[in-house]
Amino acid sequence: MKKIVCLVLAVAALGSLGLAKTKIVIAGRDGGYGQVLELAARLYMADHPDVEIELLKLPYASLYEKLVIDLAEGIGAYDVVMLDDTWATEFMSQGWLADLEGLGYTPDPDFVDNALAVGRYPYPDGALYALPHVGNVELFAYRRDLFEKYGLPHPPRSWLEVLGAAALIEEYEPEVSGVVFRGRKGNPIVTGFLPIFWAFGGRIVEDGQAKVASPAGVAALKFFLALKDYAPEGVEVYDSSEVKDALLAGDVAIAIEVWPGWVPALDDPAQSKVVGLVDIIPAPGLVEESSPMIGIWLLGVSSASQNKQAALDFIEFTTSAEIQRKLTLELGHPPTRHSVYSDPEVVANYRWFPAQLAAMDSAVPRPRVPVWSEIEGVLGDYLQLALVGEMSPEDALRAAQARIQEILER
């Protein structure tokens, strides 16, 4: 009788173990990014009925704050963490993320090289701490119809061609501004300026030293200020919404900065007056080749996670070619894999994807320093002072360089 009771208890214990689920907690973004992760989580749980996923969808600043607290203290409340490229160096250099190759992951060559590299520390050949999830990269937009109307070379290959086209179109199209960009201080103006700065051969930080006030940097800022002559009035305070509105209304000929999440609206008749008239390309070059800014969102595993292998398995699943393709077709997710960018059905739905892939292949990351957010804030302040005419380009960049050097030496 005792044997039978023991057997029953053993079977019951095994049954209860079989019903127990592994729980993965994901700290991710809200909005469209949250929708993508939510779909990925549903797909994963359908394939893995033994796994339960809790997804937190947080605003940008809140996500950063919560991750820093959890990861720095080693609390382990989150297993999978979604992080902006700009946070990557800080998180990786502090040992807050698990080494994915150390957990047994082998990088897939289908990933776009530049996208995969931002998940490594030291950049670009160090240990792999995160996989590229959102293929964000800065793009360039221009009105093909207006370029053709005035016999302008297109797509424009150099920034000098951009300036010439903006000037000509503004002169002969009184209702259309030649160019638009984000002029608001801080991140907006820095983001718009960097592809020009890099194309002129500028460097923000090199060998641990601030270099923004180099002759190349000054020339780039003077060029940027020349573009302002053909921008809408008030461009000094333009942010994303103003740039998008101007493009959709057909009020501008060129936008020096657009992002994958903005582009689909251009072909939506319910939102756009320029359906099919705007071409999307990588940023032009000059001294250097096309140098758009990369803005990847990454997925990593917390070093304090108690479910590292399960967390890694979810990340592999979500960033796989099959799931990326599904997320792209259903939700417009910007992929990070060559195979998805070249998929015929995907390209038929997203005509700018070949250009987006080309932009990713030539993209440049922001300086891989843990204090980038501080540097960006300083540079953005001084760029805007130059844009509104309160400082000369030379003085603005010299002042920015001195402040950036102080930050680097702290």
Q: Structure pTM?
A: 0.92
What span, in angstroms and rounded, lies between the C-alpha atoms of 105 and 100?
A: 6
Residue 191 — left, alpha, or beta (φ > 0 → left; ψ -120 to 50 → alpha)?
alpha
Residue 19: per-residue pLDDT: 57
What domains are there in the chain, each with its CATH number? 2-135+295-362 (3.40.190.10), 139-293+369-409 (3.40.190.10)
Let me know: does 85 contact 130? Beta carbons within 8 Å.
no
Q: φ, ψ for residue 379 (rounded to 5)?
A: -60, -40
What span, in angstroms and rounded, lies between the C-alpha atoms of 224 and 197?
A: 9
pLDDT in tens, the chain (410 residues): 444 434 333 434 434 445 579 999 999 999 999 999 999 999 999 999 999 999 999 999 999 999 999 999 999 999 999 999 999 999 999 999 999 999 999 999 999 999 999 999 999 999 999 999 999 999 999 999 999 999 999 999 999 999 999 999 999 999 999 999 999 999 999 999 999 999 999 999 999 999 999 999 999 999 999 999 999 999 999 999 999 999 999 999 999 999 999 999 999 999 999 999 999 999 999 999 999 999 999 999 999 999 999 999 999 999 999 999 999 999 999 999 999 999 999 999 999 999 999 999 999 999 999 999 999 999 999 999 999 999 999 999 999 999 999 999 99
Residue 11: per-residue pLDDT: 37
SS (H, E, C) 81-131: EEEEHHHHHHHHHCCCECCCCCCCCCCCCCECHHHHHCCEECCCCCEECEE
